[in-house]
Amino acid sequence: MFLTISTTGTPERPATDLGFLLHKHPEKTQAFSTSYGTAHVFYPEAGDERCTAALLLEIDPVALVRRGKGKGKGGAPDAALAQYVNDRPYAASSLLAVALSAVFSSAMRGVCNARPERAAQPLPLRIEVPALPARGGAELVRALFEPLGWTVTATPVPLDERFPEWGASRYVRLVLDVPAGKLTLGEALRHLYVLLPVLDDAKHYWVSPDEVDKLLRAGDGWLADHPEQKVITSRYLARRWSLTREAMQRLELVRLADADDTDVDEIDNAVDEESDTEDKPVPLAVRRREAILAELAAAGAGRVLDLGCGQGQLVQELLKDVRYTEIVGVDVSVRALTVAARRLKLDRMGERRAERVTLTQGSLAYTDKRLKGYDAAVLSEVVEHLDIERLPALEYAVFGSARPRTVLVTTPNVEYNVRWETLPAGHVRHGDHRFEWTREEFRAWALPVAERHGYDVRFEPVGDDDPEVGPPTQMAVFTRNDKNAKEVRAA
């Protein structure tokens, strides 16, 4: 199995920079052992004008069979023979994708310490795969790669050159080209990582639930808007429908979160700026964070979850205070998390500080074992971003499964909207808000939630508490009392 990656250079930017980007020296031939055999990396050409890196994967068929034992579908009468006689060692396939991610993992993530600015630069690329199994043929190859900016040349490989009348095999010779200025090397590798196995459509290894995470991570920035998203998702996940459905739902959320390019606090802040007549009022977003920090301190929390952390403003505040020993920011939007990581300068942070903080992708609509055992969870302006039918799922994930001692939930008070002069009547404050609640509606949600899961709850205003319409933001402070909770869990 063989694949090459080539780029061209200019006098200022020699093509051999490819070696830095791939973290593999152009003058060396290197071998790496992977789960399925040995991966060799070498450079057939390495000049300033043109540089080509080759990845050759030498499959160990015995390792392949051993690893597959008891895990694959099996059952077919020729399964035993097929284990030994198959095209795996010769054709590019999902195994090549596994090797790509093992050998070029930093490059795939766009990390390059030696040339950080180069990793972010889109460069001219050519990728060649001489024998790619492509179920769906050249047409599907084009449908998958062209929307991503690639020029695709997919030539069907004849079944047997001596007998052209036998027609084409299911292999194509693939050449992908992209001019400078469109894709970074990291993006290109992530496309291959996902699409090679999709074309192969015969995933050799057992698909576990964390494949969905892997797919979404590799698909960040391109999969949510891909016209063939459904084919990609279902084939990548080996047609496991429950996983496919989960992936599609999460991609939908990514799309919504991404459509949401405006800052969440935009309207609140804009209004605050407008009423900026006398002494400068503190923006509502800042007052919200102050109120949250005061409650966390009063609760004596040290290990805190920020669920729906968005662009990481609260995480940043928490990091400044050493009493918060472990801070976990969770969001469904990879883009928001990327902004958060940049804001926190995660890559340049000292080790001691970096150890206190984790940013991770996740959806509050699913229970997540990683969220158990924390002192407190904050959901600041998050519930209103979920469809109201998803709230029972969020309720279970937070109060039933994660069960921190303290839960803080803030949400807009819709009654206050009449006070926002820039907000047309009847409108919500933000395009992605699925609903906004009155004070009464918020209580009607929060009280039974507390009751069902063994929490006490009180309500606090955030911002000026208007005598008629109440405060702009409302906060519920839940404290676990474990009353009834046993029955709930037993039920």
d(CA 464, CA 486): 39
Give 308 or 470: the residue with its C-beta nearer to ligand SAH.
308
Give the CA distances from residue 338 to residues 220, 261, 274, 356, 414, in Å, rounded to whole numbers and listed in that order: 10, 13, 30, 18, 31
List of E strands, 124-258? 125-133, 151-158, 168-178
Residue nearest to ligand SAH (CB): 310
Binding mask 198-237 for ligand SAH (x = CB under 6 A): ----------------------------------------
Among 51, 382, 408, 450, the residue binding ligand SAH under the rule CB under 6 A is 382
Q: Using the rule CB under 6 A, is 250 a contact of ligand SAH?
A: no
Strand-pair partners of 456: 479
Give 266 or 273: the residue with its C-beta nearer to ligand SAH.
266
Smallest distance from ligand SAH to CB 380, Å: 3
Give 1 or 285: the residue with its C-beta nearer to ligand SAH.
285
Q: Using the rule CB under 6 A, is 336 a contact of ligand SAH?
A: yes
Cα angle 83-99-113, degrees, rounded to a multiple of 5: 170
Q: Using the rule CB under 6 A, is 365 a contact of ligand SAH?
A: yes
Q: Using the rule CB under 6 A, is 429 a contact of ligand SAH?
A: no
Stretch touching ligand SAH by CB under 6 A, among 70-78, 91-99, 273-281, 304-312: 304-312
Among 19, 133, 310, 471, the residue binding ligand SAH under the rule CB under 6 A is 310
d(CA 53, CA 302): 48
Q: Using the rule CB under 6 A, is 364 a contact of ligand SAH?
A: yes
Smallest distance from ligand SAH to CB 278, Å: 26
Among 128, 272, 375, 381, the residue binding ligand SAH under the rule CB under 6 A is 381
Burial grade of 311 (CB within 10 A; 0-12, 13-18, 19 or more):
buried
Smallest distance from ligand SAH to CB 225, Å: 16
Give 207 or 423: the residue with its C-beta nearer to ligand SAH.
423
d(CA 342, CA 434): 28
Smallest distance from ligand SAH to CB 220, Å: 13
Among 4, 83, 234, 333, the residue binding ligand SAH under the rule CB under 6 A is 333
Show Cβ contacts of residue 288 under 8 Å, excluding neighbours closer than 6 positions: 380, 381, 410, 462, 463, 473, 475
Among 127, 264, 357, 391, the residue binding ligand SAH under the rule CB under 6 A is 264
Show Cβ contacts of residue 349 under 8 Å, excluding neighbours closer than 6 positions: 357
Among 363, 413, 417, 474, the residue binding ligand SAH under the rule CB under 6 A is 363
Show Cβ contacts of residue 438 under 8 Å, excluding neighbours closer than 6 positions: 413, 414, 415
Closest CA to 127 of 199, 196, 223: 196
Cα angle 447-452-457, degrees, rounded to a multiple of 5: 35
Q: Using the rule CB under 6 A, is 98 a contact of ligand SAH?
A: no
Give 63 or 339: the residue with its C-beta nearer to ligand SAH.
339
Among 253, 296, 341, 357, the residue binding ligand SAH under the rule CB under 6 A is 253
Binding mask 131-170 for ligand SAH (x = CB under 6 A): ----------------------------------------
Cβ proximity of 200 and 94 under 8 Å: yes
Among 88, 170, 385, 453, the residue binding ligand SAH under the rule CB under 6 A is 385
Cβ proximity of 363 and 392 under 8 Å: no
Smallest distance from ligand SAH to CB 112, Å: 28
Residues within window 459-488 making contact with ligand SAH, judged by CB under 6 A: none
d(CA 156, CA 235): 21
Among 238, 257, 409, 477, the residue binding ligand SAH under the rule CB under 6 A is 257
d(CA 412, CA 373): 28
Stretch touching ligand SAH by CB under 6 A, among 100-108, 220-228, 362-370, 442-450: 362-370
Q: Using the rule CB under 6 A, is 332 a contact of ligand SAH?
A: yes
* Contacts made by residues 37-42, CB under 8 angstroms, sequence distance 24+: 37/63, 37/64, 37/95, 39/99, 39/102, 39/103, 41/103
Stretch touching ligand SAH by CB under 6 A, among 21-29, 150-158, 330-338, 367-375: 330-338
How many chain residues are in contact with ligand SAH, going by CB under 6 A?
A: 19
Which single residue is written with the structure tokens 């904050």? Answer: 378
Among 133, 149, 308, 412, the residue binding ligand SAH under the rule CB under 6 A is 308
d(CA 420, CA 12): 54
Q: Using the rule CB under 6 A, is 309 a contact of ligand SAH?
A: yes
Burial grade of 257 (CB within 10 A; 0-12, 13-18, 19 or more):
buried
HSE-CB of 368 using CA atoms within 13 angstroms: 22
Contacts to ligand SAH by CB under 6 A: 253, 257, 264, 308-310, 313, 331-333, 336, 363-365, 380-382, 385-386
